[in-house]
Chain A
Amino acid sequence: MNREAQLEAIFGAFRGTEGPLLPILHEVQHTFGCVDPAAEATIAHELNLSRAEVHGVVSFYHDFSATSDPRPCIELCRAEACQARGVEALVPAAEQAAGTRVKLKTVYCLGLCSVGPAARVGERVHARLDSAALIKLVHSV
């Protein structure tokens, strides 16, 4: 299926939805790995919005990106509760292990605050991480 057809399929799934922009952006991000300027223009046309309006929304939320990043991604929680459980001490070694191959992304809270430090890879969550476990996780993705 080409890009236009994929976008059309996404739009079709949300016709009749109230306030469809965020669900559409999630689908586009999921399908293409990003919401690039061309997709913004198509979405704007579909929803009868200006491109600026769509771009404003895309750039506001952390979940949407303008360019795709094919690297595997580990989302590491660095909020207060995980800081209290020592996540900051794990970061330098994890960054070194990740290098440029793995994206180590900071998130604020995965809701695992009693068993941190915590991380998420896609739908899988990991807790009680120490340095060795986090480095192992980095190597495993």
Chain B
Amino acid sequence: MTTVRISDDAVALACGADDVATAFVAAGASVERVSSWGMHWLEPLVEIDGIGFGPASAADVEAILAGSSDKRIGPIAEHPFIVRQQRLTFARAGKTRPLSLDDYVATGGWAGLTRARSLAPQVLIEEVTGSGLRGRGGAGFPAGIKWQTVANAAGARKYVVCNADEGDSGTFADRMLMEGDPFQLIEGMAIAAHAVGAGRGYIYVRSEYPHAIAKLNTAIKLATVQIAPFEIEVRVGAGAYVCGEETSLLNSIEGKRGEVRAKPPLPAIEGLFGCPTVVNNVLTFAAIPHILIEGGAALYDSHGVARSKGTMPVQLAGNIRHGGLYETAFGITLNELVHDIGGGTASGRPVKAVQVGGPLGAYIHPGRFDIPFDYEAYTVADALIGHGGIVVFDDSADMGHMARFAMQFCAAESCGKCTPCRIGSVRGVELIDRIRGQGSAAPDAVSRLPQMHNAAKQAPTREAELQLLEDLCETMKFGSLCALGGFTPYPVLSALKHWPEDFA
């Protein structure tokens, strides 16, 4: 009997993979549901003996089985999109059944944990530090140093918390990993627990990811014995973007409003329920098992550039022809990612801008597509890598509207704790509306009263409004408690700088 492999990743499901699978079963084939290769423009992707067919629909089933389908893309593992990648974190993508412990063990699963548990925690932490692994959530803080802080902190209980509140638009690597290779995340957390002496862990997943939640819950049950005495529980978010910020995430697990906490104290010292807590992103934990196998740390460190070591699962999204997951060493340029690998826009129109790093990332002009993918190079260019999402826009995009949207999003999602974010974002929307000629700042009746000596007597000039917007952005950038208010100026100011004509 022919064995057909079809992904059960949410992207494949959303594109109709279940219907395709049902049709194959009806045609007498045996269907295996595996993780996604990450070539999303080809989903649902069907694999028979290593040969891929996609995007497949139920109507293609007969031709695929007969060998006459025009959806044939050849051997998947030799596809240019796959061959050019350096997959470490996503080494199993497309190859294993997500909830099969046999598949996991056959592909090197638990080797990292077994070796980690044979090491003294201090040695283990030094290996993680030596690998150069930096937090993949956005801030890029060295993982080993964070672990060391937790290990050194005094506390009766310690926690390991996985931040799986992947709210950034244009990012889906966490989701793919949780749905496609949940044991790897669990193993990474168990290694962290051994390193810092934690007994309990939480995975905080956003409620928009029902498939990931279901997979994780099953995987945790299946892996109970392997990770014991360490225990993991999934906590489901409730639709607040700001809960992706680590301190508001901790508040949310504690059952409080997802308000940001002032730092210090760092979560590593006083985190969940006041105890020392490791908070890392899904991709950070998922990189750990690979680093902990014999020679893994040195191999990881050999990838990448300067202080950005290892690989980054880049997510190609938005208006891009070949969207999906592209894991590669740091140092790659946007030109390569957007044009060579992504194939330009899906609409076929010229690229106008890309936003890197989610809703709080800068819009980058095609003239600057040569900057290397590297934390420090992006900081110098007033941009951020964030979680590695790249959203492509074609020339129909209105960047003035996108700048307004950034402020509007910040206003909708602000936790309300600090003033620059809570009020600045609302004022930002109003200000951008005025600059774009919608709404007026003409002085009202009270401002015109003779005793209002200091009130403006005429509407401010456009130059004055633009200056005000820059001042507002500066206040938000340096005065906000967390990255939501602090980084919203990036998309706003970058749009204003590179596409001033869209603000007319």
Interface residues of A (CB under 8 A from B): 18-23, 25-26, 47, 56-57, 60-64, 77, 79-85, 107-116, 118, 120, 123-128
Interface residues of B (CB under 8 A from A): 10-11, 13-15, 40-41, 43, 166-172, 175, 207-211, 235-241, 252-259, 273, 315-320, 323-324, 346, 355, 359, 389, 391-394, 397, 402, 405, 409, 413, 415
A84 vs B393: C-alpha distance when bound (angstroms): 5
B318 in contact with A19 (CB, 8 Å): no
When A114-B40, A118-B14 are in contact, do A80 and B253 touch as well, CB less than 8 Å? no
A115 in contact with B169 (CB, 8 Å): no
* Chain B residue contacts of A56, Cβ below 8 A: 257
A22 in contact with B168 (CB, 8 Å): no
* Interface residue from A26, A60, A114 paired with B41 (Cβ < 8 Å): A114
* Chain A residue contacts of B175, Cβ below 8 A: 111
* Chain B residue contacts of A77, Cβ below 8 A: 169
A51 vs B413: C-alpha distance when bound (angstroms): 24
* Interface residue from B15, B316, B391, B405 paired with A127 (Cβ < 8 Å): B15
A124 vs B210: C-alpha distance when bound (angstroms): 9
> Considering only CB atoms, which chain A residue lies closest to B256 in the complex?
A57
* Chain A residue contacts of B241, Cβ below 8 A: 108
When A20-B255, A61-B258, A84-B318 are in contact, do A111 and B10 touch as well, CB less than 8 Å? yes
Query: A11: shortest Cβ distance to chain B, in Å?
Result: 13
* Chain B residue contacts of A109, Cβ below 8 A: 167-169, 171, 208
* Chain B residue contacts of A21, Cβ below 8 A: 255-256
When A26-B236, A81-B391 are in contact, do A113 and B171 touch as well, CB less than 8 Å? yes
* Chain A residue contacts of B254, Cβ below 8 A: 19
A88 vs B402: C-alpha distance when bound (angstroms): 12
A57 vs B43: C-alpha distance when bound (angstroms): 39
A60 vs B256: C-alpha distance when bound (angstroms): 9
When A79-B359, A80-B405, A84-B393 are in contact, do A113 and B208 touch as well, CB less than 8 Å? no
* Chain A residue contacts of B252, Cβ below 8 A: 22
B11 in contact with A127 (CB, 8 Å): yes
* Chain A residue contacts of B402, Cβ below 8 A: 80, 83
> Considering only CB atoms, which chain A residue lies closest to B179 in the complex?
A111
A119 vs B243: C-alpha distance when bound (angstroms): 22
* Chain A residue contacts of B255, Cβ below 8 A: 19-22, 47, 57
27 contacting pairs across A/B (C-beta < 8 A): A21-B255, A22-B235, A23-B235, A23-B236, A57-B257, A60-B257, A61-B239, A63-B237, A79-B359, A80-B391, A82-B169, A83-B402, A83-B405, A84-B394, A107-B208, A107-B239, A108-B167, A110-B10, A111-B10, A113-B171, A113-B389, A114-B315, A115-B41, A115-B323, A116-B317, A120-B208, A127-B11
